[in-house]
Structure 1
Amino acid sequence: MKKEILMVCAVAMFATAQAKTAEQTLSINKNNIKVWTYQNSQNPVFSYRAETVYDTSIEKAVSLVLDVENAVKWVPYMGSVKVLSRDDKKGEFLLYMVLDFPFPLKDRDLVVQGKIQKNAQGIISIKNKAIDKGYAKNPNYVRLNDYQGDWTFQKLANNKVKVSTYGYANPEGSIPLKFVNLFVEQQPYQMLQKMKTELGKSSSVPVLPEALR
């Protein structure tokens, strides 16, 4: 498996535990994609939960998300992703990401620590969080330190998988709250749409990390 390890995100940003306790609003429901937004009392920035169902195998969906080299093709605002370390046996990895924000906003970067797991029911999860170490700060970027993001993949049939993504991130800097919350609503929707397109292109046989076999 060449340079495979998640992206998250690509700015797939936000905490599952908060999603279970906070009041959620269904912000988008179209093209078989649902996006819920919610807030906690500590932060005015929205978190999100998004889900859809694809007519593909769970292996193929997971492999796409773990394919770092292709992440910039379908993850909105993803400028670049670099694998700093990975352990396929343990399902652990460390990434450095640059987020390409629209002008005049300054681009963001972050170091992401991730964990891949498969439970007894066959549900695959990818959990990510930002850490404040592992890569030198670049003065050209605003470093994000407060980020959490999860993916889950549930096999519904031989060629059908439910994909969910959750996230939260503090964008740092002086960005209007209205813009940030609009970004939080639209980014997961656009990402899941583009993910469907990428899944339709790929014809290769997926190879998952050893931790998921």
Structure 2
Amino acid sequence: MTSTRIERLVTSGQFTLDGGTWDVDNNVWIVGDDHEVVVVDAAHDAAAIAAAVGGRRLTAIVCTHAHNDHVDAAPALADATGAVIWLHPEDLPLWKLTHPDREPDAHLRDGQVIEAAGVDLTVLHTPGHAPGAVCLYAPALGTVFTGDTLFRGGPGATGRSYSHFPTIVASIRDRLLTLPPGTRVLTGHGDATTIGAEAPHLQEWIDRGH
């Protein structure tokens, strides 16, 4: 039985893109044990995330994509902890909108495995919401972290720059809905769901054509 656990922190701030700004609440996921953790999406408040990490060693900050509300606190958190910021290279144009003077530390690639306190997080490249969007699948935890690719009730938004609805539907169909139905889906915003709860609705989403 793994001692690795998942903790959720909700932080609040703003999402800005294409000249618009919206107030948002983001899920920050902390994956690890009593000694070592990984953060999925450092949103809005580096101090709050650092406080939730506490005395544990933060090894990695994994960005599911580079919209500002998912990466705005990443450099400050990395500077405070020495953690490595990981981002898929196809999201560098979005990253530079928020952090023009600071590159991520390392590039994610499809199929890569990041370890969180002995549990493997497998990177699934799932473009559509953003070109470099990724999900992180942890079979040992029966969980996939989907960022803004898949939510309870359907795909993430594709109405703004760098996004594409047919691409996100293909990513969800081919990379996520093939996971075991009981897999928990932990999202970038809002409530959790499961693969089995979302899979029957794929055709509805296509017909709706977000």
Q: Shared fold by TM > 0.5?
A: no
Flag the structure with higher strand content. 1
Higher relative contact order (CA 8 A, sep 6+): 1
**Alignment TM-score, normalising by the size of structure 1:** 0.26
- TM-score normalised by length of structure 2: 0.27
Structure with higher helix content: 2
